[in-house]
Amino acid sequence: MPARAPLNVVFHDARVIEPLSGRDGVGDVVLLDGAVAERPYAIPDDCVHVDCHGLVLSPSFIDLHCHLREPGFEEKETVATGTAAAAAGGFGLVCCMPNTRPPLDTVARIRTLHDIIRRDAKVAVIPIASATLGRRGEALVDIRALASAGVAGFSDDGDYVADSVVMRDALSQAAGVGLCVMDHAQDGRLVSGGVLTEGDVARRLKLRGMASEAEELAVGRDIALARMTEGHVHIQHITTARAVEMVRRARDEGLHVTAEATPHHLVLTDEDAVMVDSSGTARFNNQAKVNPPLRSASDVAGVVRGIVDGVIEAIATDHAPHTSADKDGSPGQAAFGMSVFETALATVLTLYHRGEVSLERLVHCLTAGPAGVLGSRSPRPSISSGGLVLFDPDASWVVDPSRFLSRGKNTPLEGRTLRGMILTTIVGGRCVYAADSLSRRCSGGCLGDLDGDGAPGAGSGISNER
């Protein structure tokens, strides 16, 4: 990460939520030379003081699942722009998926990406390697060598590893190096050509649906293989109530099965994919096209229950930036994916404001939960490490994708009012993002003395703060 000066700052009267330590209470947090200071401490004259009344301070977030697109798809995103967007979203560590060009399936390619990360990343990045060569689902990568090269896990994300023998061997070998296999658990052969979830909305729009059974069959297969191998399978972007119940039973059995849910699959339904034009005609909103698709309200409720009950340990963005051309055209032609980093927190805080999920549980699923999935590959998500995020859970703002730091402006949330705003993100004791509105709470200086794409207020999609 580019060097920036370590901070001297006092956060006064913040609600501090730190799931690993069990801390949840109002107090001060002091950073001196970028490190959390313990009492007694002497506050230097050059210290910035931040009034945090009504604000929440937590460890910086961890994202298990994002697409930085580099190398090969730099028109969609780069490590520099993607990690700037991640910082604006409160993320201090992100795991990037291997569906790049070429895919991340060899040690040499991982080393090349590490060079880019060291040069350009605004936050910490750990690559996820392909599970199979070329992501073709036929032959395993060199799992041991890639583990030694520092990857956080293995996945053919975007594609299901359909061959059960290959998946069995991947789980077995990954277990031998203490890593998980992350599976896009959806049988692609059953949903080929689909646009949105199979159901009333698809029928109303006369579009080909994507059956939820494609996910449930894949999840069941993965659980059986985890039982067979004693390996760790991680279900990516789980979306159906039945799949959540399958994971629940597997965990009750003691199997090493974990799962993540995305902000959009926790809050949006297939009805959010419908637009009504000026003539009153309903049509599909390409910006809401994701894979797996947005599901019915009953499935969304089942996934939310999984978060509340601890069946789902992590909220992951599946940040999938695209160019505007990628999302144009007919529903069948448009690319799958949303730009999520900069709206993630505010989206999931919808559940808090509705009274469905506690704030503590949401912070857990953004910090300690994903760290647990990564195991030894993750740093401890604690404020004492100098990685933290300050956010206002009540601040309202209107999503304006033209202000995103991400190159991907593709979101169905454009024009929506959300509640929950990232004010600053600190990684390794250094400020990597500060919102314009933070300056009103600062005295003795400002945290937002950044450069380049990290300029305070340059992104976050915020317009018309209320």
Phi, psi for residue 132 in degrees, rounded to 5 = -130, 155
Of 60, 59, 78, 58, which is closest to residue 68 (Cα–Cα)? 78
Cis peptide before 379 (omega within 30 of 0): no
Q: Is 208 helix (H, G, I), strand (E, B) or coil?
A: coil
Query: With the C-alpha atoms ordered 349, 354, 360, 361, is the resulting torsion angle positive or negative?
Result: negative
Structure tokens at 450: 């950044």
Distances (CA, A) of 50 to 53, 92, 343, 427: 9, 20, 24, 17
> In angstroms, rounded to a whole number, what is the distance separating the alpha carbons of residues 444 and 61?
27
Total residues belonging to the chain: 466
What is the DSSP annotation of 270-290? GGGGEEE-TTS-EEE-GGG--
Specify whether the backbone of 355 is left (phi greater than 0), alpha (psi in -120 to 50) or beta.
Answer: left
Amino acid found at 77: E
Catalytic residue (choose from 105, 159, 318, 392): 318
State yes or no: is 318 an active-site residue: yes
Enumerate the active-site residues: 318
